């Protein structure tokens, strides 16, 4: 079971996190900005410990190493544009490459979020049992979306690339070579994949510490979720 420490809103969160630095250790923050800010504050008192300050995204990057080079940024949109048929472009009003920037970003983010919550794309198939009834045009829409996703996968695989919407699978998770301390600092939300990461690291002998800024009992350690906080 991870160790949980609460930090009052009036206290310095970073200074509290520094108390848990070990040699070696990872301090994992919600964002890169937060990690960099904490590192700058830590640096004056650094005693040469092997401590890495990372965002959650960067830490995840240590645990999932794709077998193929990962497409990044605009290259993802370029490849997605390549696989769209004329009917696809008309269906979504995509007549120029510039039109795909917003639509394509939402398309890619959606499937990454599904992967992050460990939801199978089969859930979106028209034949899947859903709790809501869909109209025929909605079923056609989902079928088209899933078909585009498959064509995108086939296309980038032929080109020798992959995308994070495909390789972030729990069974592909690896661990750093030596078990050490991992401190999650103020991670108010753990996705389903991130919860699996915490459990996996525990099983591999890592010491897990969670630092949560908020009142006592505002975080559920069993489910790794924040509870509602009522400020009076």
End-to-end CA distance of the chain: give it in Å, rounded. 31
Q: Angle at CA 88, nearest 5°, toward 82 and 94?
A: 75
Averaged pLDDT, 18-40: 97
CA atoms of 169 and 66, how far apart (whole Å): 10
Bond prior to 24 in cis (omega within 30° of 0) = yes
The pLDDT score that the predictor gives to residue 35 is 97
User: Which residue is associated with the tokens 């510490």?
Assistant: 209
User: Which residue is associated with the tokens 């599904």?
Assistant: 114
How sure is the predictor about 207, in pLDDT bands with cuts at 50, 70 and 90? very high
How sure is the predictor about 230, in pLDDT bands with cuts at 50, 70 and 90? low
Q: Cα dihedral sign for 52, 56, 58, 59?
A: positive
CA atoms of 219 and 232, how far apart (whole Å): 18
Secondary structure element (H or E) that encloses residue 210, with its range: strand 207-213
- Report H helices in the chain: 13-18, 32-42, 56-63, 74-83, 86-91, 100-116, 136-158, 164-167, 192-203
**Model confidence, pTM:** 0.89
| Domain topology for 3-64+172-226 | Rossmann fold (3.40.50)
Averaged pLDDT, 91-95: 92
What are the tens digits of pLDDT across the range 133-145?
A: 667 767 788 889 9
Residue 69 DSSP class: P
Q: What is the CA radius of gyration of the chain?
A: 21
Helix (H, G, I), strand (E, B) or coil at 50: coil
* DSSP letter string, 150-175: HHHHHHHHHTT-B-HHHH--GGG---
Lowest mean pLDDT among 17-31, 138-152, 157-171, 187-201: 138-152
Q: What are the residue boundaries of the structural domains of the chain, listed by start? A: 3-64+172-226, 74-167
Averaged pLDDT, 124-136: 63
What are the tens digits of pLDDT across the range 5-20?
A: 999 999 999 999 999 9
The pLDDT score that the predictor gives to residue 107 is 96
The pLDDT score that the predictor gives to residue 63 is 95
The pLDDT score that the predictor gives to residue 24 is 94
**131 has pLDDT over 60:** no
């Amino acid at each position: 079971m991870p160790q949980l420490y609460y930090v009052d809103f009036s206290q310095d969160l970073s200074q509290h996190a520094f108390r848990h630095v070990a040699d070696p250790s990872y301090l994992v923050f919600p964002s890169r900005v937060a990690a960099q800010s904490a590192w700058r504050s830590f640096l004056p008192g650094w005693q040469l410990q092997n401590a890495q300050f990372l965002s959650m995204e960067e830490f995840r990057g240590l645990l999932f190493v794709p077998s193929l080079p990962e497409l990044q940024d605009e290259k993802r949109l370029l490849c997605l544009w390549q696989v769209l048929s004329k009917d696809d472009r008309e269906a979504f009003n995509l007549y120029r490459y510039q039109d795909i920037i917003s639509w394509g970003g939402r398309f890619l983010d959606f499937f990454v979020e599904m992967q992050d919550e460990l939801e199978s794309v089969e859930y979106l198939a028209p034949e899947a049992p859903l709790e809501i009834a869909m109209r025929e045009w909605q079923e056609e829409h989902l079928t088209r979306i899933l078909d585009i996703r498959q064509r995108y996968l086939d296309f980038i695989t032929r080109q020798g690339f992959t995308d994070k919407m495909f390789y972030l699978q729990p069974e592909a998770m690896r661990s750093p070579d030596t078990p050490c301390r991992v401190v999650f600092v103020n991670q108010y939300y753990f996705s389903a994949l991130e919860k699996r990461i915490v459990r996996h690291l525990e099983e591999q002998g890592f010491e897990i510490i969670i630092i949560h800024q908020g009142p006592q009992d505002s975080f559920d350690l069993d489910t790794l979720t924040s509870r509602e906080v009522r400020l009076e």
